[in-house]
Amino acid sequence: MQRIYFDNAATTALDPEVLEVMMPYLTEKFGNPSSIYSYGRETKIAIETARKSVAKILGAHPGEIFFTSGGTESSNTAITAAIRDLGCKNIISSPIEHHATLHSVEYWGKQDGLKLSFIKLDETGHVDMESLRALLAASTERSLVTLMHANNEIGNLLDIKAVGELCKEYDAIFHCDTVQTVGHYPLNLKEINVHFISAAGHKFHGPKGVGILYVNENVSIKPMINGGGQERNMRAGTENLYGIIGFAKALEIATARYEQDSAYIQDLKNYMKSRLETNIEGISFNGDCNGRCLYTVLNVAFPKTEKTEMILFNLDMAGICVSGGSACSSGANAGSHVINSIGTNLNQVPVRFSFSRHNTKEEVDAVVAKVKEFI
């Protein structure tokens, strides 16, 4: 049975070109980057070359880029640093953040002397900017604002520049989870008032287990992990050498292919939306799918029936990979916290289809035919 993979928001296939540049560092170029002899020097140079490449693409300085294990570590580190090192006592977030952020702010919100507030959302799930302004204005303590650039379940895009300017007005620290957008949109961090961003390589055809934390040069934080002097004394531990090489290469490829890939994937998403509307009665779409929304994500709301409640299982049995929400919580039985928070239609079965350059319209046709057959 040939599988059809429509869950690219969860992870993407490793690009063969990325694997090719990683392979030497999995085999003959195995030196520890902290070693002073030639094996170590060549791998240290490779890491710094990768850092410079990532920084240039993101409009940052190399000294602002720290390699981590992925988006979860990066977001947790940024939130902790803002509270521990930058004097933030008032935490502002939204109820539809990825659990890497949501569970972190919920933990800190229970600590003495800290306050956690959630921004109101509009009917499509976008952040209400007036609600954000009101929460910032009401605080007598320095605030941390932590909001995702694009929601991983419904695809809504944040106006990152507007949020950054509002944070600047109130001297707030701004952390943005850009896991779903780095590698999918051009970002110039010189033009955005943001103090931290998080990213993960496996979201744009890079390797798993590697990400970045951008730390703006105007803020000073304490080490993330204590030990050796790696990552300029900020994150101890021998570097994920081949992962770092792969991250940089994947970002270079994604940046070079942005125009053609984004147009192709957007067309594919629109095609699937049209085919579903034509063939399946009673469906709707979660989030702002026709407006400020990821071109890679389509969240479909099927009316809840005995047949639609089995749709994920049946699609899986047919070799079709999709999800009901975040891959990190796919085993949970409480439903999607994102769909529950926006409350557009609770009597629904949400299914997230997410696309990459490897998908085709023929695959869309096959999936729509299967969905029609099941329900």
The candidate with the shortest Cα–Cα distance to 25, out of 250, 239, 256, is 239
Q: Which of 88, 167, 176, 328 is catalytic?
A: 328
Amino acid in position 204? F
Residue 304 DSSP symbol = P
Name the β-bridge partners of 321: 5
Q: Which tokens sit at 373?
A: 């057959």
- Please, what is the angle between helix 361-374 and helix 258-279, to 10°? 30
User: Is 289 assigned a catalytic role?
Assistant: no
CA distances from 355 to 48, 61, 119, 167, 322 (A): 32, 31, 29, 33, 10
Q: Which tokens sit at 149?
A: 């650039």
**Dihedral sign from CA coordinates of 130, 213, 203, 322:** negative
Number of Cβ within a 10 Å radius of residue 242: 23
What is the residue whose two structure tokens read 């999607």? 336
First to last CA, the chain: 21
The candidate with the shortest Cα–Cα distance to 54, out of 204, 212, 207, 177, is 212
Task: Round to whole Å and give the CA distance between 116 and 106.
Answer: 7
**Residues annotated as catalytic (active site), given as ranges:** 328
